Amino acid sequence: MASAPSSCAKSVEVMLNRSWAKLNLRSEKVTNWIRLVCARLGVRLHLLKRRVITWLNPPYRTIEVDGSLPSQLKKNTLYIVAEDGFQEQAAMLCPCGCAQILHLNLLPDERPVWRVLRNRDGTTSLRPSVWRKRGCHSHFWFRDSRVIWVNDLHK
């Protein structure tokens, strides 16, 4: 009878060790699972962030028009006016929302002059930046069909 408590204690110890081992194994599995989920979630969060940025700052469409601008300009659209095959001006609604039409000269013998760059991926860029000296004083770059505010570049 004297050995009963010790054998009981031993079996309890064995049980505890097994439980501890299982617990450790489980906690390792749980930790790995959490790491995996976080890694996947991290990637998803990254994609979500990009989507939100794209949604908040959608790329512009570039439309080439012959001769003259339409009477109503659409938002998020860069118009390139060409006549006889020569690009004369680019135009867009001011991206600040002030509803002013920005006319950007593309004729090289007049100043100021902008260059339209058509990128391989179908996007458009303008050079140099657009800086309104009057009105809303917007200052932005138009790169890869997106408006990049100059203030944002310095943040």
Q: How far is the CB of 100 from Zn ion (least distance, A)?
A: 5
Q: Which stretch binds Zn ion (CB under 5 A): 48-56, 109-117, 121-129, 136-144?
A: 136-144
From residue 79, how far is each of 102, 131, 135, 149 by CA, in Å? Answer: 10, 18, 21, 20
Q: How far is the CB of 91 from Zn ion (least distance, A)?
A: 14
Question: Residue 65, interface with Zn ion (CB under 5 A)?
Answer: no
Residue identified by tokens 């944002």 is: 152
Residue 42 or 128: the one with the smaller Cβ distance to Zn ion is: 128
Q: Which of 59, 62, 71 lies closest to 101 in space, CA to CA?
A: 71
Question: Residue 73, interface with Zn ion (CB under 5 A)?
Answer: no
Question: Residue 98, interface with Zn ion (CB under 5 A)?
Answer: yes
Of 63, 69, 73, 96, the one binding Zn ion by CB under 5 A: 96
End-to-end CA gap in the chain: 79
Q: Which ranges constitute the DSSP H helices of the chain?
A: 3-56, 150-153
Q: Which residues bind Zn ion (CB under 5 A)?
A: 94, 96, 98, 136, 138
